[in-house]
Structure 1
Amino acid sequence: MASHRRPKSPGRTRMSVLTAAAATAVAVSAQSAQAAPKPTTDQLRSQLQQLNTEADQAVQKYDQSQENLKQQQAKVSQLQDQIARGQADVNSRLDQLGEIANQQYATGQVDPTVQLLLSATPDDYLTKAASLGQLTSNQASILDQLRSQEQKLAGEKSQAEQTLQQMDTTTKQLSAQKAEAQKKVQQTQALLDSMTAAQRSAVVGGGTSGGAASRGTSRPPLTGGTGSSKAGDSVEAAAFAAAQTRLGLPYVWGATGPDSFDCSGLTQWAYAQAGVSLGRTTYDQINDGTAVNSTADLQVGDLIFFNGDTHVGIYAGNGMVLHAPHTGTVVKYERMDWIGSIYAMRHI
């Protein structure tokens, strides 16, 4: 006997399968979430510091490339001026030779013997002949020198232009690296934004953009002393005072002031106000001044380099640094041991 039961609807079957699959996916997601706990504040801070170091490396290389590019452009401009002056000199000498040739042609190239006979005295002829020969020799010598100089300058110009093309390519590459580093910082910042204010404070440290520098409470004290609270000399005092006027201004990649800065841009600007010219990047500034061997010997106004030589700040006394930290922050005071490992210290 045939069955009279209604067969199952294909649509219902598919819905049952989809529902089961969705439930499985939710269960797997829940298990994955349980298997990957949120990073601790120490882990987050370590990650942020690493990303900031990578960002500092990218921006310092970018700044160095830009500085080299400016120098190369200045060199090309100087070479072009030299070439123009040399060419004008060559043209002037050629005109003088042309006049001599025209004069000889106009006189019909008189034979020297006839010139001797026509001269008032033999001595008069010999003087004229010697003068004409010497003039021609000088012209030829000068032209040879100018042609050699022109070839040299043209070669230097070509070399400078090739270097500029290479620098332009490098700058574009570094710009991409800069964007990638900024992206890393933003990703970490997004994670920090999802945390409570207390958690964020624990991760980013106890820095402040105001006049009173917070020392923080959850980090170990500095070893080897925290240095003097007095400026090293009038120059360092003036540089530190200038940097203090920039507190609260934003960090901006590649900026050198007066309204925004990157780390080495701030130190360069501050010392410029004190009449001292520092190099543009941390790689330059680390060679300026005199090395400081211990944190106990630090004086207000000294430069401190962190995390390799990728970041620089100005010693503010009592274990504090005044610096332009990284994207998303402002010029502020921070504890030295919050920023990273000290790489070098310099009296300027």
Structure 2
Amino acid sequence: MASHRKPPQHRRSGSRARTLLTAVLAGAAASAGLDGVGHAAPKPTPEQVREEVDQLYREAEAATEKYNGARERTEAAERRVGKLQDEAARRTEELNTARESLGSAAAAQYRSGNGLGPAMQLALSSDPDRFLRDAGLAERAGALQATEVASVARQIRELDEVRQEARTELKELEDQQKRAQRHKKTVTGKLGKARRLLSRLTAEERARLAAESGGGNAEAPPARPGGTGGAKNSSGTVSAPNTRAAAAISYAQRKLGSPYVWGATGPDAFDCSGLVQAAYRSAGVSLPRTTYAQIGAGQRVSRSQLRPGDLVFFYPGVTHVGMYIGDGKMIHAPNPSAPVRVAPVDEMPFAGATRVV
């Protein structure tokens, strides 16, 4: 009878499990190259690298503009906090002076044998909340004391309001700093990935891509005021519509060849919005820090209406800006692989234009 028994079920299951495990491991070994034959990913072509790097640069530039905006708001919050802290210190000093004056009056009153009135007791209390709740008792004090006590009460309220406003601004400052750090992390991550991609190319391939990136060249004729179009005059210079536009163009021309550094506003390095901001600042015109704020800083104009000095914007989301100089060209800070240079306006998707002067 024993010869007809079925083998135990757990042995049969164990055998199948071992067979399956062996097959899985063999497949994993083959896919991982453990069978002695490597399967390395094919090296991307320079064109593929360029496409991916350009995309990373665009994403980094979008994050850069968000970082610039967060930094601008951070700096504004820092200024507000500083003013509020100064105001709180001034009001605290005034309050202490007022309470010292009441203290002197109270001492004189006590020495005279009249004792301290209820209003005076409240004014000198270390519990301002109780003082404010019971300030109605001041009405039972003399007219002079009532006026002094009311003044102290008002100063306590105003100081508390200033301190509360300062606390709110400090919270906003902390939030903006965190946002800036997040955007900074995004930018550095994108740029780091782009550098790693470029490092896989030969020196010759990198040099060729750098020459092609951004288009155009690093030279432009000087700008002169006069005229409304973009054509060069008989001397070969660009005719700017007014002296401020001419001054801004002249500044940008002097910065040709300067490196692109994200978050930079000069004088030796720039990002795209930092360049146009610095150029117009040199002409006495104040522009916002970011591309998406700069596009709203003047009169919107169509592409057919462009004049030298106009700001030209690119890509959905308005993440890149240059300065038009005429003849279909602009000066801009392209990306970390190319310096400030002259380039055709039509080399990137046009998003709009603004005339600031």
**Bin of the TM-score, shorter chain as denominator length:** 0.7 to 0.9
Q: Conserved in 2, the CA contact under 8 Å of 1:56 and 1:310?
A: yes
More RCO (CA 8 Å, sep 6+): 1
**1:193 and 1:200 in contact (8 A); partners too:** no
Distance 1:103 1:205 in 2: 81
2:230 corresponding residue in structure 1: 228
Q: Which position in structure 2 is the counterpart of 1:260? A: 269
Question: Does residue 64 of structure 1 match 2:69?
Answer: yes
Match of 1:287 in 2: 296
Cα pair 2:218 2:256 within 8 Å, conserved: yes
When residues 279 and 248 of structure 1 are mapped into structure 2, their CA distance, relative to the original with a 3 A threshold, is same
Q: Give the distance between the partners of 2:242 and 2:52, measured in 1 at CA.
A: 38
How far apart in 2 are the matches of 1:37 and 1:169? Answer: 37
| 2:307 maps to 1:307 | no
Letter aligned with residue 282 of structure 1: T
Normalised TM-score (structure 2): 0.73
Q: Quick one: which of 58, 81, 87 aligns to 2:86?
A: 81
Once residues 232 and 189 of structure 1 are traced to their aligned partners in structure 2, the CA distance between those partners, rounded to angstroms, is 42
> Equivalent residue of 1:25, what SS?
coil
Separation (CA, whole Å) in 1 of partners of 2:146 and 2:297: 52
Listed as ranges, the gaps of 5+ residues in structure 2 are 1-29, 116-140, 223-228, 232-238
Structure 2 counterpart of 1:25, from 21, 37, 48: 37
Secondary structure of the 2:331 match is: strand
Alpha-carbon contact 1:228-1:296 (below 8 Å) kept: no
Paired position in structure 2 for 1:47: 52
Determine the C-alpha separation between the residues in 2 that align with 1:198 and 1:337. 23
What TM-score do you get using the length of structure 1 for normalisation?
0.74
Alignment of 1:155-174 (within 5 A): 155-174=164-183
Q: CA, structure 1 residues 282+197, in 2 after alignment: closer, same or farther (shift >3 Å)?
A: closer
The CA deviation string for residues 227-253 of structure 1, in whole angstroms up to 9 with x for no partner, is: 633323221111111111111111111
- The answer on whether the counterparts of 2:214 and 2:334 sit within 8 Å (CA) in structure 1 is no
Q: Where do 1:100-119 residues align within 5 Å?
A: 100-109=105-114
Work out the CA distance in 2 between the residues paired with 1:255 and 1:201. Answer: 20
Give the residue type in structure 1 aligned to 2:297. Answer: D
Measured against aligned partners, the alpha-carbon deviations of 1:40-68 in whole angstroms (never above 9, x if no partner) come to x4x55543432221011111111111111
Deviation per residue, 1:205-263 (Å, 9 max, x gap): 532112369xxxxxxxxxxxxx6333232211111111111111111111111111111
One-letter amino acid of the counterpart of residue 301, structure 1:
G
Question: CA 1:65–1:316 in 2, change beyond 3 Å: closer, same or farther?
Answer: same
Q: CA RMSD in A?
A: 2.8
1:334 aligns with 2:334: no
* Secondary structure of the corresponding residue to residue 305 of structure 1: strand
SS of aligned partner of 2:169 = helix
Change (3 A) 1:193 1:345: farther
Hey, what does 2:217 align to over in structure 1?
A: 208
Shift of the 51–108 alpha-carbon distance from structure 1 to 2, 3 Å rule, reads same
Check the 8 A contact 1:65/1:167 in 2, yes or no.
Answer: yes
Residue identity matched to 1:83? A
Q: CA deviation at 1:171?
A: 2.1
Count of residue pairs the alignment pairs up:
286
Conserved? CA contact 2:74–2:173, under 8 Å: yes
Distance, in Å, in 1 between the alignment partners of 2:212 and 2:196 is 15
Give the alignment of 1:1-16 within 5 angstroms: none
Aligned counterpart in structure 1 of residue 96 of structure 2, from 70, 91, 96: 91
Once the 2 structures are TM-superposed, how far is the Cα of residue 173 of structure 1 from its aligned partner? 1.4
SS in 2 for 1:321: strand
Corresponding residue for residue 189 of structure 1: 198
Which secondary structure does the structure 2 equivalent of 1:255 belong to?
coil
CA distance in 2, matches of 1:288, 1:83: 35
Residue 203 (structure 1) shift: 4.9
Between 1:135-144 and 1:266-275, the stretch displaced more is: 135-144
Question: What is the distance in 1 between the residues matched to 2:44 and 2:173?
Answer: 50
For residue 321 of structure 1, the aligned residue among 319, 327, 330 is 330
Distance in structure 2 (CA, Å) of the matches to 1:144 and 1:241: 59
Question: Which consecutive residues of structure 1, in runs of 5 or more, have no partner in the other structure?
Answer: 1-17, 111-131, 214-226
Alpha-carbon distance in 2 for matches of 1:281, 1:140: 51
Which residue of the partner structure matches residue 4 of structure 2?
none
Structure 1 counterpart SS, 2:322:
strand
SS at match of 2:353: strand
CA distance in 2 between counterparts of 1:189 and 1:99 reads 77
Structure 1 residue 88: deviation in Å? Answer: 0.7
Match of 1:343 in 2: 351
Letter in 1 for 2:250: A
Distance, in Å, in 1 between the alignment partners of 2:295 and 2:108 is: 66
Residue 197 (structure 1) shift: 7.8
**2:65 alignment partner AA:** Q
The structure-2 alpha-carbon separation of the partners of 1:199 and 1:261, relative to structure 1 and needing over 3 Å to count, comes to closer
Partner Cα distance (1:249, 1:269) in 2: 13
Which residue of 1 is the match for residue 135 of structure 2?
none
